[in-house]
Amino acid sequence: MNIRRRMVFALIPMSLLWASAGHAASASSWDGTWSGAWGGRESEATSVTVAGKRVVSYTYQGVSHPVTSSKVTAAKITYEDQGVTVTLTRTSDKTAAATLHSDQGDGTAELTRQ
**Spans of all domains in the chain:** 28-113
- DSSP structure string for 5-68: HHHHHHHHHHHHHHHHHHHHHHHHTT-EEEEEEGGG-GGGEEEEEEETTEEEEEEETTEEEE--
Mean pLDDT score of the chain:
84
Residue 6: predicted pLDDT: 52
Question: CA dihedral in degrees (57, 59, 60, 64; nearest 10)?
Answer: 90
Residue at 29: amino acid letter? S
Residues 49 and 55: beta-carbon distance below 8 Å? yes
Which helix (H) or strand (E) is 72 found in, with range?
strand 70-72
- Give residue 15's pLDDT: 43
With a cut of 50, list the residues of the chain below it in pLDDT: 7-11, 13-28
Q: Which CATH superfamily is domain 28-113 in?
A: Calycin beta-barrel core domain (2.40.128.20)
